[in-house]
Structure 1
């Protein structure tokens, strides 16, 4: 990304900066409570500080960052109560998404989900928590997308971003990856057999179990 020029800020540059910051947060490179160094980020990405500021404002509006007067912009710390509430909302959305996606399932969509399941099995065996985390997001997002409800997909995406800081680390524990993907396969099996209610139940249960696993990793 090389756009170090004064003048008009292009939405494309700001969007790429925002994506980079989100990736840093999701990968754990920038932890909750850490300050975002605007100058260092601009230098690293080869852009002026203007698109960085624009990106920070956008992420602040999404709730990922918080600005403190005379101190700077920080990765927002999510309370455990907020985290639990978001998991509950995700469970409802995933249940809805799985039920609707089952109704609309076709061979191409089955192949997409089956491929992601196989990839998650491989990276779980390789103990690659970072890669598993990304594939897990793809699997969940695919199911929501296959519900053909764009509003639900947008809401789910925002909820998933809010949980970056909690969910990424617990996949570093290999048994969590194996359990998670076994639950994914149960949801998939219900979907391919056309059992809409069971797909909904299992998808909701999967997210709730994920909540419990996260709680176990962050301690009391």
Structure 2
């Protein structure tokens, strides 16, 4: 009886966790670009790739639709979502507010050893920028903001922020990388660390908000859609020597 109950529990655990595992794997394919933005997702190919039935794949795709990463078109199938410029701009606007909250919380909670970790990451980001290693820079950038999120210590804030970042990633994958400008972002991250280390929540919150506002302004410039709000919301916008770039 005990063995039977254990086997039933194990079977339930496996069946309930498989869709989550499939969701993580499909999301990884989307985030890395292996499943390109706008492409149709083939359930049969995925089930063969992951050696599973279509059931867990369908459940995973429903969860990804709720997360805003795919769209389901009636009689056509499931596609990787495309984010329009206007939606990306709204996401940037929301991120400005969220980053300010994160900065304020981090300034009050950060420990000296974490500050040193951030400074070391900024140094690594500078090296990646000088080498024009966009992939390495993007990975370090992601880790930098992950540390800030963890330090902020808010589950709901983390969930909301990560969803917005994932959706924005779809837009950046669609957009052309204009090249250059990485050093501007590295300088901004250095300024963020200094602001956080000051322990002043107002200063840290403002630094993070300006960082995202600068990214938003560079996006506007790259798409030829500069407007007063995006161009003046931060003093960290791109200059002629630092072309616009896509950025996390």
1:178 is the counterpart of 2:183: yes
Residue 178 and residue 171 in structure 1: after superposition, are their counterparts in 2 closer, same or farther (change >3 A)?
A: farther
Deviations 1:74-100 (A, max 9, x none): 012222221111111111111111111
* Residue aligning to 2:28: 23
- Matches of 2:178 and 2:17 in 1, distance apart? 37
1:123 deviation in Å? 2.4
Q: Any conservation in 1 of the 2:82–2:174 contact (CA below 8 Å)? A: no
TM-score, with length taken from structure 2: 0.77
Which range is displaced more, 160-169 or 101-110? Answer: 160-169
- The 10-residue stretch of structure 1 (65-74 or 28-37) with the greater mean CA deviation from structure 2: 28-37
Offset of 1:56 from its aligned partner?
A: 0.5
SS across alignment from 1:163? helix
The two structures have a TM-score, normalised by structure 1, of 0.86
Q: Who wins on radius of gyration, i.e. which is larger?
A: 2
Question: Is the Cα–Cα contact under 8 Å of residues 25 and 164 in structure 1 kept in the other structure?
Answer: no
CA RMSD of the aligned region, Å?
2.3
Residue aligning to 2:167: 162
Give how far 1:172 is off.
Answer: 4.9
More moved, 64-73 vs 74-83? 74-83
2:5 is aligned with 1:34: no
Q: Please state whether the residue corresponding to 2:180 is helix, strand or coil.
A: helix
Q: Secondary structure at the match of 2:214?
A: helix
Per-residue CA deviations over 1:64-83 (Å, capped at 9, x if unaligned) read: 11111111100122222211
Deviation at 1:173, TM superposition (A): 4.9
Asked if 1:212 corresponds to 2:239, the answer is no
Alpha-carbon shift at residue 160 of structure 1 (Å): 0.6
Higher relative contact order (CA 8 A, sep 6+): 1
Question: Take 1:219 and 1:19, find their aligned partners in 2: how far apart are those partners?
Answer: 35
Listed as ranges, the matches of 1:33-112 within 5 Å are 33-112=38-117
Q: Secondary structure at the match of 1:74?
A: strand
**By how many angstroms is 1:108 displaced?**
2.9
Q: Which residue of 1 aligns with 2:118?
A: 113
Q: Check the 8 A contact 1:67/1:74 in 2, yes or no.
A: yes
Provide structure 1 residue ranges, at least 5 long, that are not aligned to the other structure.
1-6
The runs of 4+ residues in structure 1 deviating greater than 4 Å are: 168-174
TM-superposed deviation, 1:59: 0.2
User: Residue 71 of structure 2 aligns to a residue in which SS?
Assistant: strand
For 2:99 and 2:22, how far apart are their aligned partners in 1?
A: 29
